[in-house]
Structure 1
Amino acid sequence: MTNFTYIIESTESKARIDKALATLNAEWSRNQVQQWIKEGHVLVNGVAVKTNYKCQEGDEVIVTIPELEELDVVAEEMNLEIFYEDSDVLVVNKPRGMVVHPAPGHNSGTLVNGLMAHCTDLSGINGVMRPGIVHRIDKDTSGLLMVAKNDMAHEGLVQQLVDKSVTRKYQAIVHGVIPHDFGTIDAPIGRDKKDRQSMTVTDENSKNAVTHFRVIERFKNFTHVECQLETGRTHQIRVHMKYIGYPLAGDPKYGPRKTLDINGQALHAGLLGFVHPRTKEYIEFEAPLPKEFEEVLDYLTKSN
């Protein structure tokens, strides 16, 4: 177990203990802190408290983080759509609704489970839970991902992400009619203080984020756009499009309640290009829009 000790200062005085701790440690979500409090892992001045305890200046707070549950990641046979594969890298088209890697409470049916059945040689840099995973896309986002089959390839691909040299283009359907054909959103993204499981445009504890977009087609109340990532922050396209007033259709976290009934954001990672870490040749792949995305576009066309 790991212990963290905090002395409450005036800035956190009168705040709920769960909110204060989630603010003091940006790596902790408020939900996770609440769970630790309920399990008795948070002591204030040596006494266990409830989640609604109001902090007082000078309080000594000790958080004892229990050992993480060891998950047994099992290989599962899946009908993966492999776009490219050699001894170093693999490019896979992830279907909508599939989680990329296992996590507590969700250790099966993920892309990693399927990759482990498909091939045994995956890089170990990200540990046993994320073998081969270089970058991620959200559960309800479909599209292309590059996977590293050894540590040399992993390091090379990650460096390209750091250097912003990977080509990543997405197609999305957003609320509203965007009047201009092209645009660039340059706005830093960080964790939302009011909702630790969401991201937002903020100057506090944020990282620079840049998204370029172009309009593909306009409809009566929606716009079909292509977004190209310059950086790769969590939920970047979803957050940026909401920030400029055109949230993604179907997005349960960042979009309006009244939206298209499509069970998740209309977002597809359709184009992926990078320099092969061994051959040094640029390779590029394009995945067609999934059937459900095409059906939404057909519906919007007929509704015009």
Structure 2
Amino acid sequence: MKKKQKTYRATEYTVTETIELLPFLLQAMTKNSRNSVKAILTRGQVAVDGQPVTQHNHSLQPGQKVSIQSNQASLNHSKLVGVTIIHEDDDLIIINKEAGLLSVASKTENELTAYRQVTNYVQSSRPDQRVFVVHRLDKDTSGVMMFAKNEKTQQTLQNNWNEFVKERMYTALVEGKVVSESGTIKSWLTENSAFKVYSSPVDNGGQYAVTHYKRIQSNKDFSLLEVLLETGRKNQIRAHMEELGYPVVGDKKYGATSNPLRRLGLHATALSFIHPRTGKIVRYVAEIPQIFISRSKK
């Protein structure tokens, strides 16, 4: 195995043979006891190719990257509220944001945000480190969100967003039993003075928007949809689901009549993009909230 020492937050190893995770860690961490290595694994301090793994028998393949967080990094992670770090490298931090947490505060708001917490997290070990906003999620939407750790990465991604981003997948819990197994909604979106986005089937000078959806499961009350964005307009999924006749659960602004989740039924499940430094396509996933699945079961 090849060892690469990064900042004190994590040590990274490259796998050179097919092996299970626990034996690999025991080989890598010879100064630690077996029980100590097991504890590090159980606490979630180990990631494989950027994805946290706790299973002892997880199979590793040559070329994969295994990173081990220090105890201090693990402690910093535990201080985060409504934010879970999915992946971190020298250029990017990918998080899973919970519903109800602002991505970034407005000029008139001073409440806790994902941006502020990620900034505090990186500055706990490097006080001069800055964090840059790449994109945002609505306050009531949960899921995968990305920050840059330097301005060059931020500008590269923002200026070439449509070229770099290969997949934006959401999961939506909507009202009613969606009849079609799959479909595509194409329309023009415009925002009124009350900040509600309206969908028009004809070009009215708004922004052209395309949303693809696939029904995962449904019952008489709710449907669980996999939603792929071809364009990324403000409130696109919410406006398109209202137009389809199946508003997102909890979305009173866009036609919902129920709120059994006590939150918006919208989750950013996966983000796939070309990494600006490596040029390779990477994909990060935030697990679908279990309540979305249970509410839409037959």
Per the TM superposition, whether the score is higher than 0.5 is yes
* 1:85 match: 88
- Flag structure 1 segments of 5+ consecutive residues without an equivalent: 1-76, 123-130
1:236-251 aligned at under 5 Å gives the runs 236-251=236-251
Q: Map Cα deviations across residues 203-256 of structure 1 (whole Å, 9 max, x no partner).
A: 444111111110100211221100011111111100111112111111121023
Give the alignment's Cα RMSD to 1 decimal.
Answer: 1.8
Is contact 1:168–1:228 with CA below 8 Å preserved after alignment?
yes
Q: Residue in 2 aligned with 1:189?
A: 189
Distance (whole Å) between structure 1 residues aligned to residue 186 and residue 164 of structure 2: 14
> 1:201 matched to which residue of 2?
199
Task: Please give the alpha-carbon distance, in whole angstroms, between the structure 1 residues aligned to 2:230 and 2:86.
Answer: 23
1:61 corresponding residue in structure 2: none
2-structure distance, mates of 1:164, 1:276: 8
Q: Do 2:217 and 2:296's aligned partners in 1 also have CA atoms closer than 8 Å?
A: no
Counterpart Cα distance in 1 of 2:146 and 2:207: 23
Of all paired residues, the percent bearing the same amino acid is 33
- For 1:116, the aligned partner's letter is T
- For residues 142-164 of structure 1, what are the alpha-carbon distances to aligned partners after superposition, in whole Å with 9 as ceiling and x for unaligned? 00011111122112222442337
Alignment of 1:7-86 (within 5 A): 78-79=80-81, 80-86=83-89
Q: Distance in 1 between matches of 2:280 and 2:174?
A: 35
Matches of 1:261 and 1:177, distance apart in 2? 16
- The alpha carbon displacement at 1:297 in A equals 3.3
Query: Aligned partners of 1:268, 1:160: CA distance in 2, in Å?
Result: 24
Gaps in structure 2 of 5+ consecutive residues:
1-78, 124-128
> What TM-score comes out, normalization by structure 2 length?
0.66
- Whether 1:297 aligns to 2:293 is yes
C-alpha contact 1:249 1:255 (8 A) present in aligned 2: no
1:296: how far off? Answer: 4.6
- Letter aligned with residue 201 of structure 1: S
The answer to whether the 8 Å contact 1:172/1:224 transfers is yes
Task: List per-residue Cα deviations over 1:255-296 (Å, max 9, x = no partner).
Answer: 23x313323320110111111101101110111123xxx235
Write the deviation string for residues 39-81 of structure 1: whole angstroms up to 9, x where unpaired. xxxxxxxxxxxxxxxxxxxxxxxxxxxxxxxxxxxxxx62431
Distance in 2, matches of 1:254 and 1:164, equals 30
Q: How many residues were matched structurally?
A: 212
Shift of 1:91: 0.5
SS in 1 for 2:225: strand
> What does the per-residue CA deviation read over 1:26-51, in whole Å, with 9 as the maximum and x for residues that have no partner?
xxxxxxxxxxxxxxxxxxxxxxxxxx
The aligned residue for residue 120 of structure 2 is 117
